Structure 1
Amino acid sequence: MLVILAVSFTILLLIGVPVGFALLSGSMLTILFGGSVNPLIIPQRIFSGMDSFSLLAIPFFLFTGALISQGGLADRLVRFANAVVGRFRGGLAMSNVLSSVLFGGISGSAVADTSALGRTFIPAMVRSGYTPAFSVAVTAASAPLSPMIPPSIAWILYGFITDTSIIRLFMAAIIPSLLWAAAMLAVVIWKAHREEMPVLPPAPLKEVVVTARAASLALLLPVFILFGIRMGIFTVTEAAAIAVLYAMGVGLIYRSMNLSTFLESVRSTVQSTAVVMIIIGAAGLFAWILAHTRTPEAIATWILSVADTPLAFLMLVNLVLLLLGTFMEVNAAKIMVLPILFPVSQQIGIDPVHFGVIVTANLCLGLLTPPVGIVLALACKIGNVPLERGAVASFPFLLAGIGVVLLITVWPDLSLWLPRLVLG
């Protein structure tokens, strides 16, 4: 059965079939032609894979991000970021990173971040004297902050698959996300002084205050969500629904929402939700096949024979996930590898929250790495830069990201200190 699954899935991916449909089709072919399993198990496992109340948070958070993006709030965040760091050398590039931090806690999507901020920053940076390749590289390198910074689908999906507390994952993600942002800023500062990049005129204090006030309602959204969940006012799923109402209220207050932007947000949410849920449903069938063939146990035995200590195992996981992330989207990759790797991590004594941060950080880094590198490819398209030049320009940022991943791997308290402090 496993041979049919591996061969069919690989062939479907190579001919360009989307990951969700490749996973679903490969699993169906495996059951139909691979043994004596009743084909009625196919719809049962697909439905059971999606039958979870906690998954309702996904469309709600997607809708929140779409409302914020379509409502023009990205421009308010950009103006605030420019007012804060624009006065420094390479300030516009630093503002690009800071805007991703601010926007990430709202949209939770690296693609949305790249699309919304890239169309603003890349032309502006080129006009200000930055090279197109560097402008693309900064945008692509900071975009993975969106799925890293809570709340985002990446954490909800990991919590659902592994039955781990989502609020703990949200808390655990904060310090690694800030480390990632600091690493990106360090590369920008180094490059800015080395190549004498442009400096924007310093913004007066009044402008900083005005732009902060203009963006304040959008900036408070992630704080409102995390505070409400921590205080027990609502669950993660309820918080996602409330976030939709909050985003709609902000759009009405700022007068940035109309019928057209609302309908576009609905369309975008339906499309994105369908993609995610197809992958989740297919993953339910895929995971059942793995369990039926006892594949996780066999792989666990092999891994433990190669890496029998937590650190050695995590280094092996880093290598595998970095390679996997180069050609697969974050959520699809999680759904494929977690049924295999997570039980091994528990067997070897690794904290599930710490493991979730490592897995997510690795796969987010894959968004930047060729040959696929989704956000790098999108940023290159926006900036009209060949992918090869964009990849070369983003290499220092990639090295910095790898450094952050290694740091959170060898120092678990970077992930676990805050949730233990806040949640006990």
Structure 2
Amino acid sequence: MALLVLFIVFLFLMIIGAPVAIAMGIASICYLAVSDLQSTIIVVRMVDSLDGLTLLAIPFFVLAGEIMNQGGLTERLFGFASKLIGHVRGGLAHVNILASMFFAGISGSAVADAAGLGRIEIKAMTNAGYKPAFSAALTAASSCIGPIIPPSILMVVYGTMTDVSIPALFIGGVVPGVLLGVAMMIYVAMIAGREGFPRQPRARLVEVFRSFLQNILALGTPVVVLAGLVFGIVTPTEAGAVAVIYSLLVAIVYGDFDIRSAGRILEESLVSTAQILFIMSCSALFGWLVTTEQVPEMLAQVFKASPFGQAAFLMATNVILLFMGTFMSLTAILVIFTPALLEMALALGVDPVHLGIVMVLNLTIGVITPPLGWCLYIVTEIAEIKFVETARAIIPFLIPLVLVLLLVTYVPAFVLWPVDWILSAN
């Protein structure tokens, strides 16, 4: 009875448009009202969920992304990518994807990518003759790489909740992130001739090399963070602090940092961090109640009884997360489903690092999938077009993204082999 109340109240509040954290919190309170559990469990579970030094990495990585974004380094990354590959047919489209791969190693956020690089990318592409809807859709699609290539805020959240190694998650995300970029570039190359995409003048080799040297400090951000984690020099929390200091120094060295923007950077970082942690605390209580009712164990038994076992579980995970991602925030989905999915995964022999990458990959596709698709709304506003135009143009890009998702889902070696190779070497 109590479990039924929990889900009915939660679904009702979601249908009427209540914020997901509020919906989970109120549903949990209603559950406790009709059960024999003590009400003090609300405070205990919510506070305990935020008790961990690793969570300090979240505000640090958020702040580092804001500094790099506001500090003008996005323009430098776009300029380097343009010199590197802008001369091929559809060059600016390829530059869009490549720049997102570079920026992913700095921000760890799809929204930051779309909002920061998006303004530069969409303006450059439309000025060069690309259709605004295509430019906006490609910008949204390429932003999916943000949470996959390390560092990744979502991976920090997942690792904190599951006690899974965050360095292992970061390493496991490299190959899937590169695969996303390559798949989108292949799609662009396939349609470039048919659509008559323009070319840019080829940059001389010396110009490419000079641009690389000028931007090497910005490009080195993910290397510094990942190397520190892999070699055990810093913890995930310390890596976040290093990312902040490094990004600030780089912005100052380039002369792009304006002290007058410091207040705005701190404010936006504070708001983003507060939203993430509030959702985590509310969902921790909600998830604990679901686990207490042994829902994960019951579902695990269903998958065990299936002749397909792991394959059926992974497919169900993809379907559920892709669907939920169309109308819920990424962090909310991650913290709601992680406890249940992890228990089922362990029972079925699925590696928790592999599960984490599959979950994050699903959720990144959700940020560009209508009707919510946060990144779609961001790029639509930048391109100054109707939302339906962007939603229609994004559909072809979902094909290569879902193909990569399936490849990573059913070939765990893409995630686990680099992890085993690099960590075992240390």
Alignment TM class, shorter chain as reference: over 0.9
Structure 2 equivalent of residue 403 of structure 1: 403
Please say if 1:285 is aligned against 2:285: yes
Structure 2 equivalent of residue 30 of structure 1: 31
Structure 2 equivalent of residue 3 of structure 1: 4
Residues 215-268 of structure 1, C-alpha deviations (whole Å, 9 max, x = no match): 211110110111111122111111111111111111211121222222111111
Uncovered stretches (5+) of structure 1, i.e. residues with no partner? none
AA in 2 matched with 1:17? A
AA in 2 matched with 1:28? I
Structure 1 equivalent of residue 223 of structure 2: 223
Q: 1:388: Cα distance to partner?
A: 2.2
Structure 2 equivalent of residue 46 of structure 1: 46
Distance 1:288 1:317 in 2: 19
Residues 136-188 of structure 1, C-alpha deviations (whole Å, 9 max, x = no match): 11101100100111111111111112211111111111001100000011111
Structure 1 equivalent of residue 361 of structure 2: 361
Structure 2 equivalent of residue 350 of structure 1: 350
Contact 1:353 1:416 in 2 (8 A): yes
Distance 1:342 1:231 in 2: 27
Contact 2:58 2:273 in 1 (8 A): yes
Contact 2:300 2:348 in 1 (8 A): no
Contact 1:183 1:404 in 2 (8 A): yes
Q: 1:306: Cα distance to partner?
A: 4.3
SS of equivalent residue, structure 1 residue 143: helix
Distance 1:74 1:11 in 2: 41
Distance 2:390 2:191 in 1: 15
AA in 2 matched with 1:236? P
Structure 1 equivalent of residue 242 of structure 2: 242
Uncovered stretches (5+) of structure 2, i.e. residues with no partner? none
Contact 1:300 1:340 in 2 (8 A): no
CA RMSD of aligned residues (A): 1.4
SS of equivalent residue, structure 2 residue 7: helix
Structure 2 equivalent of residue 181 of structure 1: 181
Contact 1:307 1:313 in 2 (8 A): no
SS of equivalent residue, structure 1 residue 233: coil
Contact 1:326 1:372 in 2 (8 A): yes
Instruction: From the superposition, tell whether residues 307 and 100 of structure 1 become closer, same or farther in structure 2 (CA, over 3 Å).
Output: farther
AA in 2 matched with 1:283? S
Structure 2 equivalent of residue 297 of structure 1: 297
Structure 2 equivalent of residue 66 of structure 1: 66
Residues 107-128 of structure 1, C-alpha deviations (whole Å, 9 max, x = no match): 1111110011111111221111
Contact 2:287 2:337 in 1 (8 A): no
Distance 1:105 1:22 in 2: 33
Contact 1:321 1:359 in 2 (8 A): yes
Contact 1:81 1:98 in 2 (8 A): yes
AA in 2 matched with 1:354? H
Between the two proteins, what is the percent identity of the paired residues?
39
Q: 1:27: Cα distance to partner?
A: 1.6
Residues 40-95 of structure 1, C-alpha deviations (whole Å, 9 max, x = no match): 11111110011111111001111111111111100100100111111011101111
Report the TM-score, using the length of structure 1 for normalisation: 0.97
Structure 1 equivalent of residue 157 of structure 2: 157
Residues 393-423 of structure 1, C-alpha deviations (whole Å, 9 max, x = no match): 1222101001001111121111111111111
AA in 2 matched with 1:70? Q
Residues 184-216 of structure 1, C-alpha deviations (whole Å, 9 max, x = no match): 111111121221111111122233223222221
Structure 1 equivalent of residue 394 of structure 2: 394
Contact 1:307 1:316 in 2 (8 A): no
Instruction: From the superposition, tell whether residues 274 and 126 of structure 1 become closer, same or farther in structure 2 (CA, over 3 Å).
Output: same
Instruction: From the superposition, tell whether residues 306 and 326 of structure 1 become closer, same or farther in structure 2 (CA, over 3 Å).
Output: farther
AA in 1 matched with 2:53? F
Distance 1:306 1:21 in 2: 36
Q: 1:21: Cα distance to partner?
A: 2.1
Deviates more, 1:349-358 or 1:289-298: 289-298
Distance 2:327 2:299 in 1: 22
